[in-house]
Structure 1
Amino acid sequence: MTKPAFQAVIFDLDGLVLDSESGYFAAWQQAAAQMGYRLSQAFCQSLSGSHGRRINQRLAERFGRDFELEQFHELSNQIWRERVGQTGIPVKKGFYQTLQCIETLQMPYCLATNSRRGDAEQCLAWAGLAGVFAKLICREDVENPKPAADIFLKAAETIGISPQCCLVLEDSPIGVAAAVSAGCTCLFVPSVLPADPDASGMAHRVLPDLCAVADFISAAMVDPL
């Protein structure tokens, strides 16, 4: 059997493994409304995959310097935690299928996210995925967050596979840009439709969900990229 172009898989978290972003957006909108502001769904979606500093920058640009960022984050975090504490966080369709495929092929894999470690671990626990990822690369593990390449370069180093031999699964344009910058092969599984055309153009392929990703990985073992 000829080896495919990738030998390991790197997962993003929010919007890719977990259907968490819709919950974040709803909490942001509710918190903003309580403060007398309005956040559109389109604006929230434009922040998909962004790190905290970038989110704060965009909020300040939209609402001005008088916007109380600390109050907004406290409110939205409280709203979101109350909701997911009761209902959990849904796992994206096809994740278990993709994971089973990777494990059957005995490929190393890890998770690489712009989230802080404590937040990532808590979200995985709420989704029933605690312990699924033995290796997590998080915001505090690197100097620069996505869209910089740092997180994926660190992930490749952590699992002992060169970036050029890593397959990254991403749902956001910011994540795709980071993966491509790191030299990885990237599948774009957009969480926001229509799919961003720039990210679609950068990615190796655009797939509708993780079920299709599992099929892609299985096929690549037979017909290398």
Structure 2
Amino acid sequence: MSQIPDFIAVIFDMDGLILDTETTYVHAWQQAASELGYTINKTFCTSMSGLSFAQVEEKFTEHLGAAFPLTEFYRLSGERWRTIAEQEGIAVKKGAYDLLQVLEESQAPFCLATNSPEFNARECLRYAGIEDLFSVIVCRDHVLQPKPAADIFLRAADLLQQPIQSCLVVEDSLTGLLAARNANAFSVLIPSITEIDEQMQALAGLVLNDLCELSLLLQGK
């Protein structure tokens, strides 16, 4: 594994990185679309990884047409998603607990920084049973612009009381990597359900397979 630069704090994305929420979103979206007479495949769904609500809405309209009933779709998909989450919970990604323990033992501050609104983010954390693990959470409704703008990461660094250049940003999506670049932060890419393309490879300061690898690297710092 490659070396990682010196850092003081760590900023984590949530969906697809700490939590396996994307799988539940895909299932709920496909169920809701089917009930409305539309078909959406997994590739289309995963292409929205890391996007904000407004960006997701735009992609649905582009893909399915202006007549697509977005309001009804969001109502149905929300109901289907909560049914899935209540029955199955939301899985915590492999290595997350060990990694957070490493950071706590080294007294390195960390936080979540997500394009999700705060209500939805806390709901996901609750379904995953880890709502108490993050004392600092920065969400879409806390800033002017979502990722790929720098706002969310800059706000996170401010709350952690560290310059952004002293923070590691850990992401799983192109949108998050672009935001890290715009914030002038070093990024660690741990891909989830999207394949790494050349742009992602070029943007990432470091590419790892999972949170376990990052945990091992940080233990050696």
TM-score range, shorter chain: over 0.9
- Report if aligned partners of 1:6, 1:185 keep a CA contact under 8 Å in 2: no
- Report if aligned partners of 2:122, 2:131 keep a CA contact under 8 Å in 1: yes
Quote the Cα distance in structure 1 between the aligned partners of 2:108 and 2:141: 26
Letter in 2 for 1:114: N
Quote the Cα distance in structure 1 between the aligned partners of 2:203 and 2:51: 18
SS class of match (1:148): coil
- Report if aligned partners of 2:11, 2:169 keep a CA contact under 8 Å in 1: yes
1:123 aligned residue: 124
SS class of match (2:153): helix
Letter in 1 for 2:79: Q
Q: Aligned in 2, Cα 1:110/1:26: closer, same or farther, shift over 3 Å?
A: same
1:152 aligned residue: 153
1:167 equivalenced with 2:163 (yes/no): no
Q: How far has the Cα of 1:122 moved from its partner? A: 1.1
SS class of match (1:10): strand
Quote the Cα distance in structure 2 between the aligned partners of 1:30 and 1:195: 27
1:218 aligned residue: 219
CA RMSD, 1 decimal: 1.2
- Which ranges in structure 1 are unaligned for 5 or more consecutive residues? none
Output aligned runs, 1:59-208, within 5 Å. 59-208=60-209
Quote the Cα distance in structure 1 between the aligned partners of 2:33 and 2:198: 29
Q: Please, what TM-score do these two structures have when normalized by structure 2?
A: 0.96
Letter in 2 for 1:49: G
Q: How far has the Cα of 1:193 moved from its partner? A: 4.2
Letter in 1 for 2:86: G
Quote the Cα distance in structure 1 between the aligned partners of 2:34 and 2:67: 15
Q: How far has the Cα of 1:40 moved from its partner? A: 1.1
1:26 equivalenced with 2:38 (yes/no): no
Letter in 2 for 1:38: T
2:16 aligned residue: 15
Quote the Cα distance in structure 2 between the aligned partners of 1:91 and 1:197: 28
Q: Aligned in 2, Cα 1:78/1:49: closer, same or farther, shift over 3 Å?
A: same
- Report if aligned partners of 1:51, 1:114 keep a CA contact under 8 Å in 2: yes
- Report if aligned partners of 2:17, 2:192 keep a CA contact under 8 Å in 1: yes
Letter in 1 for 2:187: C
- Which ranges in structure 2 are unaligned for 5 or more consecutive residues? none
191-200 or 173-182: bigger deviation: 191-200
Q: How far has the Cα of 1:197 moved from its partner? A: 2.3
- Report if aligned partners of 2:9, 2:162 keep a CA contact under 8 Å in 1: yes
Letter in 2 for 1:55: V
- Report if aligned partners of 2:173, 2:194 keep a CA contact under 8 Å in 1: no
- Report if aligned partners of 2:115, 2:147 keep a CA contact under 8 Å in 1: yes
Give 4+ residue runs of structure 1 displaced > 2 Å after superposition: none
Output aligned runs, 1:31-70, within 5 Å. 31-70=32-71
Quote the Cα distance in structure 2 between the aligned partners of 1:177 and 1:217: 23
SS class of match (1:14): coil
Quote the Cα distance in structure 2 between the aligned partners of 1:176 and 1:34: 35
Quote the Cα distance in structure 2 between the aligned partners of 1:62 and 1:195: 23
SS class of match (2:217): helix
